[in-house]
Amino acid sequence: MPEVEPVLSAGPLLLIAAAAVGVLLFLIMKLKLHAFLALVLVSLLTALATRIPLEDVVTTLTTGFGSTLANVALLVGLGAMLGRLLEHSGGAQVLADSLIRRFGEKRAPLALGVAALLFGFPIFFDAGLVVFLPIVFTVALRLGGSLLTYGLPTAGAFAVMHAFVPPHPGPVAAAELIGADIGLVLVFGLLIGLPTWYLGGYLFGLWAGRRYDVAVPDILSDEKTLDDTPDPSVEGTSPAIASGGGTRTETATRPAPPSFGTVVAILLLPLVLIFLNTGLSTLATAGALDEESFVVRAGQLLGATPVALLITVLVASVVLGLRRGESGEKVESIVNSALGPVCAIILITGAGGMFGGVLRASGIGTALADVLGDIGLPVIVAAFVVSVLLRVAQGSATVALTTAAGLMAPVVEATDGLSGPDLALIVIAIAGGATVLSHVNDSGFWLVSRFFRMDEKTTLKTWTVMETLLGTIGFVLALVLSFIL
């Protein structure tokens, strides 16, 4: 992002940011302008209103767009391919059946949420949600009811792990800036994150599912126009039958679905690779291994999330496709069919990053620091408030985490008597603030909105409320512990 000195004072900057969000909501919800166009237009107008130099406007827009896509496009694309292979092979159905059999139908949302908490430990929100979507859709189709009953507990689990628990980049960066011990942040992140998810993700998801009836979309389902069109020349082909979210063709010769163990092993593969990266990096930092050695560098490369997902998709193509009798051409068609439906999601997500990038470049962080500098709140409360305002202003939870930690670091350093647990709880409070009020400038808002096929109004009433509950509950628990410890 180009370095742009803000030319407006804090008051006008905050008013412009609030007006930009209002205009964006009006364009999308009232005028029904496509979200991608609305985000690009409002980003441009905001850049001009905040007096970013004309020669820097386009660079600011494209940098925010490109930096978001650099993180999201690979993860969403590869995750969609993996999800499509799981769905087509019957692996998602096998996993869904096993979860339901073990937990019972009434506890299926709990089973999905617990699985997402486990898989969300090393995997980013975007990638984890996309990989789990076929499983969520399959369970929702089988058991009936609103998609939100199953989708919100799952999405909430990934959101909590992404914001509260290392090795995700936000809490790791915040801990380093604040000077908190990573181990303590991990302990408090889990201690606070698990009840936070249960209250704000699982229980709220059950309530929202009863209140809002959201149908299961066909984004990741087999579509007869893509690769399952009945072929009269193939013996045993029967007419397509409807299957809830999509249309599927039954054939007498279709390969048997993979085993439960195979599906779990494929889902665990990216986790193992990412943990390899985390473990080697930790050992290298501690001095147990040479950071420059080939083993450490190779492990870090293989465990980088995009590379880990790429390896997993290639393995899944063989195990779920070729080894089950599918031709190379068929497997290529399956993974190719996953990309079309997610292209719009990727573009809208990138445009959300563009809007957030403009707000960051306008100097909103400096403005907030000036406004809050003399209020005199307790450190942990001030950390939460700063993080909330940054989150609302620019969208990205990770950016809010790191920026708020950077703004609070001098305050923390100047405050006497803060213990190790105090520092870790300040990081959790910042993470809570960075979670609340996900709205139209957050790429996660658009990811959930488009994958769940919800309009913006419904997304605000469900996803935004859930994120606000998660962040607020997490902060309150951190605040209570700060009084006790």
pLDDT in tens, 141-168: 888 889 999 999 999 999 998 889 876 6
What one-character-per-residue DSSP string does 77-146 give? HHHHHHHHHHHHHTHHHHHHHHHHHHH-GGGHHHHHHHHHHHHTTTS-HHHHHHHHHHHHHHHHHHH-S-
Q: Is the dihedral of CA 69, 391, 169, 122 positive or negative?
A: negative
Alpha-carbon distances, residue 131 vs 87, 165, 266, 414 (angstroms): 10, 20, 11, 44
92-129, pLDDT tens digit by residue? 777 767 877 888 878 889 988 888 887 776 566 877 78
Domain boundaries, the chain: 26-215+340-484
The answer on pLDDT for 258 being more than 70 is: yes
Q: pLDDT tens digits, residue range 37-84?
A: 888 898 899 889 888 889 888 998 998 888 767 766 777 778 778 877
Question: Which amino acid appears at position 339 of this protein?
Answer: L
The SS3 call for residue 237 is strand
No. of H helices and E strands in the chain? 22, 2
188-215 pLDDT, tens digit per residue, is 988 999 999 999 999 999 999 999 998 8
Global confidence as pTM: 0.64
Read off the tokens for 419. 């213990």
* Whether the bond into 171 is cis, omega within 30 of 0: no
For residue 392, is pLDDT > 80?
A: yes
Inform me whether the pLDDT recorded for 364 exceeds 80.
no
Q: Which of 86-90, 243-247, 261-265, 360-364 has the lowest mean pLDDT?
A: 243-247
240 φ, ψ (degrees, to nearest 5): -65, 145
